[in-house]
């Protein structure tokens, strides 16, 4: 069984050619599907981008390592669909750089978390997880309520996202800091401009319960509340399959 392998090991050129052949086959299998990606990724005309506040919350989510315990990819298995909702589609991560699908589930999958709980629930959960889930082993994140959100670099964050294909407009980039503040201050003067740039469906409220002050808690809750709601493609896809 190992005779051929032993012979190759004694011949450097033959071994090198064998490695190249094996790597070429593996590379082809991985790369070839990318040439048909336009046909395999679902269309989502209603797909919206993250607002500056939601994008800042996503960055805090990554900074705190939340992705290490929570996946954002519901597989097509029946028990997962029944527990979490419609299975995830590739297009739903279209504007995620990097994507946060993951596979580790110390905590539940949160791909469809948006709108499932109130803002107050999320704030209490982040301040003291056991206050709302007695058996939770999640650590508390009380400093999010104490830390003011840094907004001076939001222009750069949106510009970077635009560079990798997210369709932020120059106007969105220019007003990133103002829009972040407006989204967490429903009585502020910037709400009209915010919704004009990001759409009437944009969620505008004091996410941490304290209007007038912009905290890291505001941004993280805003991000959690939009998960699974950037597009209705998954719900439409599930409905179409049910009707077949």
Kindly report, residue by residue over 138-155, the tens digit of the pLDDT.
999 999 999 999 999 999
The CATH number of whichever domain residue 84 belongs to comes to 1.10.760.10
Please give the pLDDT value at position 153: 95
Question: What is the C-alpha separation between 146 and 164, in angstroms, rounded?
Answer: 33
- Please check whether residues 14 and 92 belong to one and the same domain: no
Residues 26 and 74 in one domain: no
195 within some domain: yes
From the list 208, 209, 202, the residue with the least C-alpha distance to 229 is: 202
Distance between CA atoms of residues 11 and 47, nearest Å: 55
pLDDT one-digit tens code per residue, 170-217? 999 999 999 999 999 999 999 999 999 999 999 999 999 998 899 999
pLDDT band at 243 (very low <50, low <70, confident <90, very high): very low
- Distance (Å, whole) CA 163 – CA 92: 19
Domain coverage including residue 34: 3-40
In a domain, 45, yes or no: no
35 falls in which pLDDT band (50, 70, 90)?
A: confident
Q: Looking at the domain assignment, is residue 138 inside a domain?
A: yes
Residue 16 Cα distances to 23, 25, 31, 89, angstroms: 11, 14, 22, 40
Enter the DSSP assignment of 33.
G
Q: Using 50, 70 and 90 to split pLDDT, how confident is the model at 80?
A: very high
**pLDDT reported for residue 198:** 96
Instruction: Please check whether residue 162 lies inside any domain of the structure.
Output: yes
Helix (H) or strand (E) holding 177, with range, is helix 176-183
Question: How many CB atoms lie under 10 A from the CB of residue 153?
Answer: 13
For the ranges 7-16, 79-88, 178-187, which has the lowest average pLDDT? Answer: 7-16
Q: Does 19 fall in a domain?
A: yes
Cβ proximity of 236 and 101 under 8 Å: no
User: Do 32 and 65 fall within a single domain?
Assistant: no
pTM to 2 decimal places: 0.84
- Residues 227, 93: Cα–Cα separation, whole Å: 10
What sign for the dihedral angle of Cα 40, 45, 46, 51?
A: positive
Residue 68 has a pLDDT of 94
Which residues fall within 8 angstroms of residue 183, CB to CB, at 6 or more apart?
A: 51, 52, 53, 191, 194, 202, 203, 204, 222
Structural tokens at position 146 = 């104490």
Same domain, 237 and 150: yes
Is residue 130 located within the same domain as residue 13?
A: no
CA–CA dist 236, 49 (Å, integer): 19
Give the count of domains, the chain.
Answer: 2
Between CA 220 and CA 204 the distance in angstroms is 14
Q: Is residue 204 included in any domain, yes or no? A: yes
Q: Which residues pair with 65 in a beta bridge?
A: none
For the residues 73-99, what does the mean pLDDT come to?
92
């Amino acid at each position: 069984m190992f005779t051929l392998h032993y012979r190759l090991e004694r011949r450097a050129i033959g071994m090198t050619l064998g490695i190249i052949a094996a790597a070429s086959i593996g590379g082809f299998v991985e790369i070839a599907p990318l040439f048909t990606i336009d046909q395999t990724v679902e269309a989502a005309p209603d797909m919206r981008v993250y607002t500056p506040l939601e994008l800042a919350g996503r960055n805090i989510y990554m900074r705190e390592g939340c992705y290490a315990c929570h996946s954002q990819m519901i597989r097509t298995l029946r028990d997962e669909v029944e527990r979490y909702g419609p299975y995830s589609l590739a297009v739903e991560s279209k504007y995620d750089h990097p994507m946060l699908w993951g596979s580790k589930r110390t905590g539940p999958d949160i791909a469809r978390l948006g709108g499932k709980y109130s803002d107050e629930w999320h704030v209490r959960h982040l301040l003291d997880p056991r206050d709302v889930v007695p058996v939770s082993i999640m650590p508390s994140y009380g400093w999010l309520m104490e830390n003011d959100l840094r907004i001076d670099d939001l222009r750069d964050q949106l510009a970077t996202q635009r560079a990798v294909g997210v369709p932020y407009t120059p106007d969105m980039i220019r007003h990133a800091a103002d829009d972040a503040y407006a989204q967490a201050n429903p009585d502020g003067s910037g709400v009209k401009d915010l919704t004009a740039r990001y759409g009437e469906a944009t969620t505008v409220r004091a996410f941490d319960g304290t209007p007038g002050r912009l905290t890291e808690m505001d941004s993280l809750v805003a991000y959690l509340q939009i998960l699974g709601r950037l597009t209705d493609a998954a719900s439409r896809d599930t409905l179409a399959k049910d009707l077949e």
